[in-house]
Amino acid sequence: MCGIAGYVGPRNAVEVVYDQLKRLEYRGYDSAGIAYRDNGNIAVIKRAGKLSELGKMLGEVPTDAHQAIAHSRWATHGAPTDINAHPHYDAFENVAIIHNGIIENYLDLRDELMSRGHTFHSQTDTEIAAHVIGEEYDKGVPLEEAVRLGVKRLRGAFAMVVVSKREEDKIVAVRNASPLVVGLGEHENLLASDIPALLPYTRRVVIVEENDIVVLTPERVRIVDGDGRDVPVVEQHIEWDIAAAERGGYEHFMLKEIHEQPQVIRQAIAGRIDEQGHVRLEHVFSEHVWSDIDRVNIIACGTAYHAGLMGKYLFEKLLRLPTDVYFSSEFRYGDPILSPKSLAIFVSQSGETADTLAALRLCKERRIRTLGIVNVVGSSIARECDRTIFTQAGPEISVASTKAYTAQVTVLTLLALYIAQIQETAGVRVKSWVDDLVRMPELAEKCLLLEPQIEQLCRRIKDTNLCFFLGRGADAYVAMEGALKFKEIAYIPTQEQPAGEMKHGPLALVQQGVVAIFGATDPYHVDKTMSNLKEVQARGGTILAITTENDSIMEKAAESTLKIPACSHPFLTALLSAIPYQLIAYHVARLNGHEIDQPRNLAKSVTVE
Ligand code: M6R
């Protein structure tokens, strides 16, 4: 959840780690801090608030520190205050640490340490971990050994980075269920919780494996396992263009990522459709396994869960394969009934979402087949699933997920078609679906052209205090995702469900001034949706319809209509309608002057439960 950064080498280390934090702000942003070497000591600066608050302190910092670690926080234990901000010292200020994750046994450890005379300044679990590691270090062992021994006393999920007074030019970090990446340089090395923070400095990276401890000096990167044995340092080369990790001229990452969707669809299908129009998926189960699968469970959170609902729709409609979709947090504690022949699909942009990862581990314990649909290569979910299909959407920085959703549904569609192809499912014309998929990038471009109209329309709805998101079939599922975007960044309460459910309760909320957005792109449902529209309109609701260029029904009744191009398969038209929903949320939030990329109370990657 939090952002972590580290640098050791000839440059101004404080400047480098501050720059790294700027590129990681999406991971957490309620306070930030830096520890750096200063005259044989480890000095710490930290501040509550946005990173720019910490930036104001940089003028006081010497420019000759060649070793620094830094952290941007998303609070879990203790309020976001100066004192609770990382880094934290041990009892004698011999070590300073930063940490991403949660130490579950911190209360027991605190009691134990207090019984030995320790006192604490903050309410954080991180300070407890610093004291634990400090105790080990006081025994005179090297820093990496102190970290290795200290971590054995901690329970939880975390990545931790430590520097010490005694060992100049050495940074030690440990990974335990929270991401950590090393950047390899010439006479310098770096650390970060995510790759974009390394790209300005190097494209040579090492993904730190679970429970490994990494030791960075300017000339060397060494990795040891939890037993202290050396493990190979496996280097990867990152091909991403650095601009891909930055805003590329857009006002916000979210807008940039919305506009990237035509390209994202192209990338998601790239190499996966051959010249004959067959779907080719590599690294999935062999063909006979698919015939053995009797049920699919899709497990995910938030936007990825909404993508899962679309997967269910398609798997059941096309393949007649029974499919359930679970929130990861419910699945993991729900004692799910799992058929030994079932397949569990984990959908995740980050590949690090704690609940999804825990649900995956539960399935693995029960020996269920697991498949990941993941964006971040090298992430925990990607590595731990039996098989993983990457969404290939590139880094998504905005907290509000947009392009990841489109990529996830595109990949789920490819998967359904792939299975249909293997099983020769009656009635599924794979070629016609593939033709649609190939056209999707161009059609997505057309949806983006609606932006000026959407911006104008948002001026009319931006002051509403309740917005309904309604539809039927796949349109209902995309409407749910539209509602999530709206509440996340526009901060306006929403009510979303299949339109047919309105009269079973939610209709009571309709009165003058509420807005209802109807997704009505599937001609099969349009007449019924129209009846629901009338019910809302009769009670004073303002109606906006997202429909297709072929529509002549909805436009007659709705106050405003957004018309998107139609695919031959209505499911894919519904997917395209995610774009106007995203733009509506974006423009309402922008017109109301909200933070877009970092909505209040939220963080990009939820690596705690
Ligand atoms: O990284 P993941 O896809 O596993 O994340 C799941 C959710 O936390 C995420 O989709 C969240 O709901 C987004 N902020 C929604 O825009």
For residue range 557-599, what is the model confidence (pLDDT) as tens digits?
Answer: 899 999 999 999 999 999 999 999 999 999 999 999 999 998 9
Are residues 148 and 61 located together in one domain of the fold? yes
Q: What is the mean pLDDT of residues 423-442?
A: 95
Assess whether pLDDT exceeds 70 at residue 245: no
Nearest one of 391, 446, 379 to 583, comparing CA atoms: 446
Report the atom number in ligand 1 closest to the C-alpha of 302: 12
Measure CA 465 to chain center. Answer: 28
> For residue 109, how far is its CA from the centre of ligand 1 (angstroms)?
32
pLDDT of residue 590: 98
Instruction: Say which amino acid occupies 459.
Output: R
> For residue 373, how far is its CA from the centre of ligand 1 (angstroms)?
13
Q: Would residue 252 count as lying in a domain?
A: no
Assess whether pLDDT exceeds 80 at residue 248: no
464's tokens: 């509403």
Alpha helices in 428-567 (DSSP H): 430-448, 451-461, 474-485, 526-538, 554-557
The count of structural domains within the chain is 3
Band the pLDDT of 430: cuts 50, 70, 90.
Answer: very high
DSSP state letter for 515:
E
Does 604 participate in catalysis according to the annotation?
Answer: yes
Report the atom number in ligand 1 closest to the C-alpha of 402: 16
Are residues 383 and 266 located together in one domain of the fold? yes
Question: What's the length of the chain?
Answer: 609
Query: CATH no. for residue 342?
Result: 3.40.50.10490
CB 73 within 8 A of CB 28: yes
Among 256, 312, 403, 604, which one carries the catalytic annotation? Answer: 604
> For residue 36, how far is its CA from the centre of ligand 1 (angstroms)?
33
Assess whether pLDDT exceeds 60 at residue 28: no
> For residue 413, how far is its CA from the centre of ligand 1 (angstroms)?
20
**Is the peptide bond prior to 87 cis by the omega test (within 30 degrees of 0)?**
yes
Q: What is the mean pLDDT of residues 407-414?
A: 98
55's tokens: 């930036």
Alpha-carbon gap, residue 459 to 444, rounded angstroms? 24
Report the atom number in ligand 1 closest to the C-alpha of 405: 10
CB 121 within 8 A of CB 68: no
- Nearest-CA residue for atom 7 of ligand 1: 302
Query: CATH no. for residue 211?
Result: 3.60.20.10
Alpha-carbon gap, residue 207 to 205, rounded angstroms? 7
CB 370 within 8 A of CB 348: no
Integer CA distances (angstroms), 454 to 347, 490, 551, 584, in order: 30, 15, 18, 6
Integer CA distances (angstroms), 460 to 469, 577, 585, in order: 17, 20, 13
386's tokens: 């039996």
Nearest one of 193, 197, 211 to 86, comparing CA atoms: 193
Report the atom number in ligand 1 closest to the C-alpha of 353: 4
Report the atom number in ligand 1 closest to the C-alpha of 400: 16
Q: CA 453, 457, 462, 465 torsion: positive or negative?
A: negative
> For residue 535, how far is its CA from the centre of ligand 1 (angstroms)?
33
Boundary of a domain, candidates 418, 446, 474: 446
pLDDT of residue 105: 87
Dihedrals phi, psi of 421, to nearest 5 degrees: -65, -45
Are residues 484 and 390 located together in one domain of the fold? no
- Who's near 306: CB < 8 A, 6+ residues apart? 405, 477, 478, 480, 481, 484
Boundary of a domain, candidates 224, 246, 268: 246
Assess whether pLDDT exceeds 60 at residue 278: yes
Identify the helix (H) or strand (E) that includes residue 304: helix 302-319
- The predicted model scores a pTM of 0.79
Report the atom number in ligand 1 closest to the C-alpha of 488: 16
Find tokens 């006479």 and name the residue: 187
> For residue 302, how far is its CA from the centre of ligand 1 (angstroms)?
5
Are residues 241 and 297 located together in one domain of the fold? no
Band the pLDDT of 506: cuts 50, 70, 90.
Answer: very high
Alpha-carbon gap, residue 555 to 563, rounded angstroms? 9
Are residues 130 and 229 located together in one domain of the fold? yes
> Highest mean pLDDT range out of 40-54, 88-102, 168-182, 571-585?
571-585
Assess whether pLDDT exceeds 80 at residue 242: no
395's tokens: 């880094």
* Ligand 1 interacting residues, C-beta cut-off 6 A: 301-304, 348-350, 353, 356, 399-401, 484, 488, 605-606
Nearest one of 287, 317, 521 to 428, comparing CA atoms: 317
Are residues 442 and 456 located together in one domain of the fold? no
DSSP state letter for 488:
I
595's tokens: 């933070």
Assess whether pLDDT exceeds 60 at residue 337: yes
Are residues 223 and 350 located together in one domain of the fold? no
Alpha-carbon gap, residue 584 to 510, rounded angstroms? 20
What is the dihedral angle through the alpha carbons of 58, 59, 64, 70, rounded to the nearest 10 degrees? 0
Structural domain containing residue 184? 3-246
List strand residue ranges (DSSP E) for 28-66, in order.
31-38, 41-48
Identify the helix (H) or strand (E) that includes residue 224: strand 220-224
- Nearest-CA residue for atom 14 of ligand 1: 400
Alpha-carbon gap, residue 76 to 376, rounded angstroms? 24
Boundary of a domain, candidates 415, 446, 477: 446
Among 350, 480, 491, say which to mutate for ligand 1: greatest number of ligand atoms within 8 Å of CB.
350
- On the CB side of 54, CA atoms within 13 Å amount to 32
Contacts 24+ apart (CB under 8 A), 75-79: 75/30, 75/31, 76/1, 76/102, 76/125, 76/608, 77/102, 77/106, 77/123, 77/124, 77/125, 77/126, 78/122, 78/123, 78/124, 79/123
Assess whether pLDDT exceeds 70 at residue 243: no
Are residues 439 and 540 located together in one domain of the fold? no
Q: What is the mean pLDDT of residues 357-377?
A: 95
Q: Would residue 602 count as lying in a domain?
A: no
Assess whether pLDDT exceeds 90 at residue 162: yes
Nearest one of 562, 558, 561, 545 to 446, comparing CA atoms: 562
Residue-wise pLDDT for 464-497, tens only, equals 999 999 999 999 999 999 999 999 999 999 999 9
Q: What is the mean pLDDT of residues 379-399?
A: 91
Q: What is the mean pLDDT of residues 8-17?
A: 97
Strand arrangement of the beta sheet that strand 560-564 belongs to: 494-498, 467-471, 515-519, 542-548, 560-564
Q: What is the mean pLDDT of residues 62-91?
A: 88
Assess whether pLDDT exceeds 70 at residue 26: no
Does 467 participate in catalysis according to the annotation?
Answer: no
Band the pLDDT of 103: cuts 50, 70, 90.
Answer: confident
Integer CA distances (angstroms), 498 to 134, 306, 503, in order: 56, 13, 11
> Highest mean pLDDT range out of 68-72, 234-238, 273-277?
68-72
- Nearest-CA residue for atom 4 of ligand 1: 348
CB 425 within 8 A of CB 402: no
Are residues 332 and 419 located together in one domain of the fold? yes
575's tokens: 């997917």
Among 29, 299, 303, 345, say which to mutate for ligand 1: greatest number of ligand atoms within 8 Å of CB.
303
pLDDT of residue 275: 85
Higher pLDDT, 594 or 28: 594
pLDDT of residue 246: 66
DSSP state letter for 462:
T
294's tokens: 């009797």
> For residue 601, how far is its CA from the centre of ligand 1 (angstroms)?
14
> For residue 399, how far is its CA from the centre of ligand 1 (angstroms)?
8
Average pLDDT along the chain: 93
Are residues 94 and 107 located together in one domain of the fold? yes
Q: What is the mean pLDDT of residues 146-170?
A: 94
DSSP 122-137: SS-HHHHHHHHHHHHH
Q: Would residue 35 count as lying in a domain?
A: yes
Q: Would residue 601 count as lying in a domain?
A: no
Q: Would residue 106 count as lying in a domain?
A: yes
SS3 for 496?
strand
pLDDT of residue 295: 96
Are residues 587 and 488 located together in one domain of the fold? yes
Alpha helices in 494-553 (DSSP H): 526-538
pLDDT of residue 1: 58
Alpha-carbon gap, residue 3 to 34, rounded angstroms? 12
- How many Cβ atoms are within 10 Å of 593's Cβ, its own excluded? 6
pLDDT of residue 24: 84
Q: Would residue 399 count as lying in a domain?
A: yes
Q: Would residue 251 count as lying in a domain?
A: no
- Nearest-CA residue for atom 12 of ligand 1: 302
Among 2, 301, 363, 385, which one carries the catalytic annotation? Answer: 2
- How many Cβ atoms are within 10 Å of 173's Cβ, its own excluded? 27
Q: Would residue 96 count as lying in a domain?
A: yes
Among 27, 301, 373, say which to mutate for ligand 1: greatest number of ligand atoms within 8 Å of CB.
301
Are residues 147 and 194 located together in one domain of the fold? yes
